[in-house]
């Protein structure tokens, strides 16, 4: 297997399996076949890349049940790789100190509490004006350069990268290196690039280590300085792990979501594009519905049963892995009426699972919402005649990434 995993029901394990893939239906749909699998069996057996027989969740209530149940572990060392390119030599290992997304309580709670205040709704309100300024600077640079431009590299990447780097205190000269290493670390492809990804992670870890040392010697007004100079400071290794996780969580997924949001409005829903231009007050609702509709996370969250657990009438045995398809769960007709329609008037759009659910819900979700609202509204205000610079048929998806996005989005105005 390459970028595929096989899912079959427990009763039909000897039959030809349903195939799971990170490929999507068209530019914006979920992986093919998941809607049919959701209708027939929202909790299905899945063959992982190392041969482990676990589960694939495509149903909304089943996904919430797993994510809210502490009998399922997030620990990295218990996971099996859903993709062959994610296989680690010697098998899965515990998460590095500080990388709390792949830990259980009490470690998860301790680390999360150290940084949660920096990503609260209140903190985002205080940062909104500055994020707006960052956004306007990027728009001015686009306007000065003139069309056409690739919106992803000219707009979607620089905004979240600058915001999270300044929140962490990353020096200006280091940001290009961080961007290159994140790109390499988060790329999955055929032929086995595990060694390259491991090297990229090592480079990121080394950069984080230098950054932590700098903050100990020359503290500033940033998250890392606060961590290493707190009354109960973290170790250098813990600070590096926390910074790595926040850098990844606060950048790549936001950039992908922003690009895909603009792309679907320009290419498939010009009526909604016009509605947002006419009424910026719709932006908040639009962001939530776009998060639901696009669900850019390709695979995961992943969980491991710590004991036998019954979910949706199926018994998940102790030790079995469960992978949740957020893109399928967010289009479950049992939760969302007419789920394949992008509807800015959807009353329950905010109940989507784009940021996960339960105690491990994405820490950076309020940062993502703030950046998406500000960036989308400002872009449509500055360039009301924004349009694709190439025929929609020429747009293509960048493969083998943890977050679904286009290779590029050339635009003009």
Task: List the domain boundaries for the chain.
Answer: 4-412
Mean pLDDT of 121-141: 96
What tens digit of pLDDT does each residue of 72-128 get? 999 999 999 887 767 777 778 999 999 999 999 999 999 999 999 999 999 999 999
Report whether 46 contacts 302 (CB < 8 A). no
pLDDT at 190 over 60: no
Mean pLDDT rounded to a whole number for the chain: 89
What tens digit of pLDDT does each residue of 257-304 get? 999 999 999 999 999 999 999 999 999 999 999 999 999 998 889 999
Domain 4-412 CATH class label: mainly alpha
Least confidently predicted of 197-206, 239-248, 346-355, 377-386: 197-206
pLDDT at 63 over 50: yes
pLDDT at 8 over 60: no
pLDDT at 70 over 70: yes
Strand order in the sheet with 302-305: 18-21, 4-8, 43-47, 53-57, 321-324, 302-305, 72-73
Q: What is the pLDDT of residue 6?
A: 52
Count of residues making up the chain: 413
Q: What is the pLDDT of residue 202?
A: 80
Q: What is the pLDDT of residue 82?
A: 86
Q: What is the pLDDT of residue 193?
A: 58
**Count of CB atoms within 10 A of residue 95's CB?**
20
Least confidently predicted of 90-104, 197-211, 260-274, 314-328: 197-211
Overall pTM > 0.85: yes
């Amino acid at each position: 297997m390459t970028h595929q995993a096989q899912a079959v029901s427990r009763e039909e394990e000897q039959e030809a399996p349903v195939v799971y893939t990170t490929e999507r239906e068209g530019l914006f749909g979920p992986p093919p076949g998941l809607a049919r699998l959701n209708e027939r069996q929202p909790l299905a057996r899945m063959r992982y890349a190392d041969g482990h027989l676990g589960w694939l969740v495509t149903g909304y209530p089943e996904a919430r049940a797993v994510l809210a149940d502490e009998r399922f572990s997030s620990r990295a060392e218990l996971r099996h790789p859903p993709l062959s390119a994610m296989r680690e030599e010697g098998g899965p290992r515990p998460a590095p100190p500080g990388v709390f997304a792949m830990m259980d309580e009490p470690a998860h709670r301790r680390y999360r509490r150290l940084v949660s205040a920096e990503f609260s709704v209140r903190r985002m309100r205080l940062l909104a004006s500055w994020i707006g300024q960052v956004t306007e600077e990027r728009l001015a640079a686009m306007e000065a350069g003139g069309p056409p431009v690739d919106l992803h590299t000219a707009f979607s990447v620089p905004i979240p990268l600058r915001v999270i780097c300044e929140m962490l205190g990353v020096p200006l000269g280091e940001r290009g290196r961080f961007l290159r290493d994140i790109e390499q670390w988060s790329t999955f492809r055929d032929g086995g690039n595990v060694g390259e990804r491991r090297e990229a992670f090592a480079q990121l870890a080394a950069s984080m280590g230098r950054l932590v040392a700098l903050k100990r010697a020359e503290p500033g007004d940033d998250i890392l300085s606060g961590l290493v100079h707190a009354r109960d400071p973290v170790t250098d290794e813990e600070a590096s792990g926390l910074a790595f996780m926040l850098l990844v969580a606060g950048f790549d997924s936001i950039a992908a979501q922003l690009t895909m949001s603009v792309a679907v409005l320009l290419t498939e829903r010009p009526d909604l594009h016009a509605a947002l231009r006419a009424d910026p007050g719709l932006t908040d609702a639009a962001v939530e519905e776009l998060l639901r509709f696009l669900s850019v996370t390709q695979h995961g969250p992943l969980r491991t049963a710590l004991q036998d657990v019954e979910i949706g009438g199926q018994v998940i045995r102790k030790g079995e892995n469960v992978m949740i398809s957020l893109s399928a769960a967010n289009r479950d007709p049992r939760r969302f009426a007419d789920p394949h329609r992008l509807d800015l008037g959807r009353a329950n759009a905010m109940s989507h699972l784009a940021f996960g659910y339960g105690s491990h819900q994405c820490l950076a979700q309020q940062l993502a919402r703030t950046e998406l609202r500000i960036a989308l509204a400002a872009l449509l205000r500055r360039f009301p005649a924004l349009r694709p610079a190439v025929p929609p048929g020429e747009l293509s998806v960048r493969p083998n990434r943890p977050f679904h996005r286009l290779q590029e989005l050339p635009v003009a105005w």
